Chain A
Amino acid sequence: MADFEPKIVGFLCNWCSYAGADLAGVSRFQYPTNIRVVRVMCSARVDPSIIMEMFLQGADGVFVGGCHIGDCHYITGNHYTEKRMKLVRKLLEKAGMSRQRFRLEWVSASEGARFAGIMKDFVELIKEIGPNPVAGDSPDMTKMESLFIAKNILEDFRLRALVNKQVEFLERGNVYGKKLDEEELDRILYDALSVEFDRAVILWTTREEPLSVRAISEATNIPPDRVLDEIANLRRRDLIKLDRIEGQSPLYVSQGFEV
């Protein structure tokens, strides 16, 4: 693995971290060549699903840089970035990837040395972790499927609604004016994430051939009672349907994924 040169995609906000990277250049702070920078106006423009797509396409690491909290050129943009990126880390874990492949840092326009330091550090780290398992000629199909599912649920309504409301709940309170605890909100968010992930996995698993609850459970490692619960949920919304009954087992087939 000595000659492994990680491919890292960076999304830097125009006002702070891009300028910080510029300053690293002006100051001639040297760092490895691995990062390729995409400039965005604000780190809050970076949709979490774009980051998942980068991993799906084989990036070994993804870096997002924004202004320090409180310094955002767009006042509160990075508050949202921070919350949204929690989902990325959690979903990387769910997909069986190292969460360290993704890194979010606040780099100000004056922190050129720090930017260079972070780059060195991040490249070292990715070298240790190794190549992206879904990249290359023999990709790990299970992980690729999981990443694909993760990207899909990041584009779905529930997680996007929850994560973006989080800032409002924390800073302005809910409709009753009650400010909620961040830990509590995270718990709600991660619970929703787990459920959505399981549902998407069930839909994915049954996309081609009808399967029984037991078969789904075996294929997905989700306990049979949870599978049954979720199938009940999904059936209510016509996302999965009963295909036929074989012996004593009903077989279900997904209405969602068509590949």
Chain B
Amino acid sequence: MNEEAPNEETEEPGEVEEEGSEEQTVDLPTERRVGVFVCHCGSNIGGVIDVPSVAEYAKTLPGVVHAEDNLYTCADDGLKAIQNGIKEHNLNRVVVASCTPRTHAPLFQSTCEEAGLNKYLFTFVNIREHCSWVHMKEPEKATEKARELIRMGVARVKLLEPFEELKNPVEPKALVIGGGVSGMNAAKSIANQGFTVYLVERDVELGGFVRLLNNLYLGGGDTRETIQPLIDDVASNENIEVLLSSEVKNVDGYVGDFDVTIDANGEDKNVKVGTIIVATGALEYIPDGLFGYGMYDNVVTLTEFEIMCRVKKLPPKVRSIAFIQCVGSRGQKVSYCSRICCNVATKNALNIVENYNEMLGQLEDVESVPVELHAPEEVMQRRRRRRQRPDGAPRSTEERRIAHQVEVYVFNRTMTTYGVEHELYYNRARESGVRFIRYKYERPPTVTREGDQLIVTYYHETLKVERKLAVDMVVLSTPLVPQEDAKDVSQMLKVPLGPSGFFLEAHVKLRPVDFATDGIFICGTAKGPADITESVVQGLATASRAGSLMKKGYVQAEVLTPQIDMDRCIGCRMCESVCPYKAIVVKRGDRGLKAEVIPAACKGCGTCGASCPMKAIVMSNYTDEQLTVEGISSLREVPV
């Protein structure tokens, strides 16, 4: 490659000027006629900068045929002035020097378009936020700076080229990856909007994580009964093709035009879709080695406990259960709070104290007894003592009832039963005798076994003493963690994972179910811990986002895309590797390997341009030449 270096180098010394003059000869038929409109913005700019003198200066710049100052360029008469200027002076380039392009560029661009000027032949110069407002005490220097900023804008605008906007069709079909509640809701909603949906689930049936659970908090219904109507709806919807025992193998393409290969029960199936929804869900963290998990019988996770409740296989004779919250989360194995476990643990604690008779009746039918419960007499005495009031008097009926049946302890760092109704459940749990015991991060409880008795040793934060509690079962509330193959899915779709391994949305506040890559959306626990309500909401949100894309039927392709000089491109794949959007691909064609831009996928960042080792990529509207000339113009006038 280096052989080419000297030739390049020989061209370098006068690169800017040379290319500039080249540009001029090519474009001579369309002489640059620049109009400059300088805004007073009331006194915002005019109070610091000598606006009329700046406009006068603008007139002296080469190529400028008209310059004027307006009180408010963004007001009706200001916009009129631009349009009149374009007509009267036959302007083919417009510079507005006023506030920030981040808010006002679209307004002035559409004004130009209305007057028949391509909106990409417009340049914005910021003399308010970047000048008058930040140099209020130095009016002379600020005026000087405004002049130079306009000089830069004029130099830039003369190099701009017009662009036409393109539309790409969107295939009216969607792919939903994952058949849990969020995925099913998304699929159902999209199908009801009239679009075809492929719902891919790798399990043998629909339902996802929720299928494992016993009942639902806030409503309390049996989980399977609750979601069965949804499953039936989805399965019977004629617009939804449910693919069970299937996985997505490969995804190519871009928004509106994805080519998807699905391993459908062992057979390859190719489909074309316009949008993709990721609803791959999450897993429960398995706390191996923490709090005796995996070492002692009857130490289980929250979900395992739910499964035991559902299949009625709780070990009999369980008379006291300790929940331990925040196992592995909030700064231990994972940094985040899994949010739902406080509510879930409260629900289970209430289940136990309120329905224990019912649960017990069935529990005693269970044959296998995983754990023998023969607590040492000493321990039993301690427990008996604890069940009495300190004065030895018998407890109230309510207290006795619970004490007689089952005791529930919830060890927590903080109980956060977030949600409107949920705090009431927490209160009810407390009233029902569930004991919430706080522990600090620095001194978590420990679970040991004495004989066959599980012992929770904890530090009582109020009494400041270490205490021991004999329990029959320990339930560990562990966080939801990302799917093990989330990384593979993220690489396949070229969408990012966050630091915790969950999928990362485009914007945490404003675009919570979008990916940065257009046409791909995210919902449910694949994005982070969420309860069923939230998963449904997110599923429906993605359906709305995907639906609106498909309803519209087209996407506006990015106009300012890189342009590739096929003579220079050597197909080295550097651009392909740096592109965050998969929007530039190297393909073998008649002339060997060459890069190719997919405008529908491109976002116009231009990093490919700065990466190309052959300098074969020209980034539209932000070419090296334009940036260089604009930069140099801040130092002195560049003759063009």
Chain A interface residues toward B at CB < 8 A? 7, 9, 11, 14, 18-19, 21-26, 28-33, 36-42, 44-50, 53-54, 57-59, 70, 73-77, 80, 84, 116, 148, 151-152, 155-158, 160-161, 164-165, 167-168, 200, 203, 237-239, 254-259
Residues in B with CB closer than 8 Å to A47 are 609-610, 624, 627
Report the minimum CB–CB distance from A255 to chain B (whole Å).
Answer: 6
Inter-chain CA distance A24–B605, complex, in Å, is 24
Inter-chain CA distance A49–B614, complex, in Å, is 13
Inter-chain contact B148/A29, CB cutoff 8 Å = no
Report the minimum CB–CB distance from B416 to chain A (whole Å).
Answer: 26
Say yes or no: A33-B145 contact (C-beta < 8 A), given A21-B129, A28-B133, A75-B516: yes
A-B contacts counted at CB < 8 A amount to 203
Inter-chain CA distance A148–B137, complex, in Å, is 39
Residues in A with CB closer than 8 Å to B142 are 33
What residue of chain B has the Cβ atom nearest to residue A259's Cβ?
A: B13
Inter-chain CA distance A84–B136, complex, in Å, is 36
What residue of chain A has the Cβ atom nearest to residue B615's Cβ?
A: A155
B635 within 8 A of A: yes
Inter-chain contact B574/A75, CB cutoff 8 Å = no
Inter-chain CA distance A152–B9, complex, in Å, is 6
Inter-chain CA distance A155–B635, complex, in Å, is 23
Report the minimum CB–CB distance from B628 to chain A (whole Å).
Answer: 5
Inter-chain contact A164/B611, CB cutoff 8 Å = yes
Inter-chain contact B141/A158, CB cutoff 8 Å = no
Report the minimum CB–CB distance from A248 to chain B (whole Å).
Answer: 28
Residues in B with CB closer than 8 Å to A74 are 516, 580-581, 603, 605, 607
Inter-chain CA distance A73–B481, complex, in Å, is 26
Inter-chain contact A157/B4, CB cutoff 8 Å = yes
Cross-chain contact of A54 among B131, B603, B619, B632 (Cβ < 8 A): B632
Inter-chain contact A57/B613, CB cutoff 8 Å = no
Say yes or no: A157-B2 contact (C-beta < 8 A), given A33-B145, A47-B609: yes
Residues in A with CB closer than 8 Å to B9 are 152, 156, 200, 203, 256-257
What residue of chain A has the Cβ atom nearest to residue B608's Cβ?
A: A44
Say yes or no: A257-B610 contact (C-beta < 8 A), given A33-B144, A45-B605, A53-B631: no
Inter-chain CA distance A156–B152, complex, in Å, is 28
In the complex, how many residues of chain B place their beta carbon closer than 8 angstroms to a beta carbon of chain A? 67
Inter-chain CA distance A258–B14, complex, in Å, is 12
Within 8 A of A (CB), among B95-122: 100-102
Inter-chain contact A14/B102, CB cutoff 8 Å = yes
Inter-chain contact A44/B607, CB cutoff 8 Å = yes
Inter-chain contact B607/A77, CB cutoff 8 Å = yes
Interface string of B1-13 (1 = CB under 8 A from A): 1111111111011
Say yes or no: A29-B5 contact (C-beta < 8 A), given A74-B580, A74-B605: no
Inter-chain CA distance A259–B613, complex, in Å, is 24
Cross-chain contact of B577 among A29, A38, A164 (Cβ < 8 A): A164
B22 within 8 A of A: no
- Can you name 22 A-B residue pairings with CB atoms under 8 Å? A7-B634, A25-B129, A25-B131, A25-B133, A28-B133, A33-B141, A37-B149, A41-B560, A44-B606, A53-B16, A77-B605, A80-B611, A84-B610, A152-B8, A152-B12, A156-B5, A157-B4, A158-B613, A161-B572, A165-B574, A168-B577, A256-B6
Report the minimum CB–CB distance from A158 to chain B (whole Å).
Answer: 7
Inter-chain contact B604/A41, CB cutoff 8 Å = yes
Residues in A with CB closer than 8 Å to B128 are 25
Within 8 A of A (CB), among B574-590: 574, 577-578, 580-581
Report the minimum CB–CB distance from B598 to chain A (whole Å).
Answer: 15
B238 within 8 A of A: no
Inter-chain contact B6/A203, CB cutoff 8 Å = yes
Inter-chain CA distance A41–B636, complex, in Å, is 24
Report the minimum CB–CB distance from A116 to chain B (whole Å).
Answer: 7
What residue of chain A has the Cβ atom nearest to residue B156's Cβ?
A: A38
Inter-chain contact A44/B577, CB cutoff 8 Å = no
Q: 5 shortest A-B CB distances, which residue pairs?
A: A256-B6, A25-B129, A36-B634, A44-B607, A45-B606
Residues in A with CB closer than 8 Å to B135 are 30-33
Report the minimum CB–CB distance from B132 to chain A (whole Å).
Answer: 8
Report the minimum CB–CB distance from A242 to chain B (whole Å).
Answer: 17
Inter-chain CA distance A234–B432, complex, in Å, is 86
Say yes or no: A7-B610 contact (C-beta < 8 A), given A22-B100, A157-B5: no
Inter-chain contact B613/A21, CB cutoff 8 Å = no
Say yes or no: A45-B635 contact (C-beta < 8 A), given A156-B2, A256-B5: no
B214 within 8 A of A: no
Report the minimum CB–CB distance from A231 to chain B (whole Å).
Answer: 14
Residues in A with CB closer than 8 Å to B281 are none
What residue of chain A has the Cβ atom nearest to residue B148's Cβ?
A: A36
B172 within 8 A of A: no
B496 within 8 A of A: yes
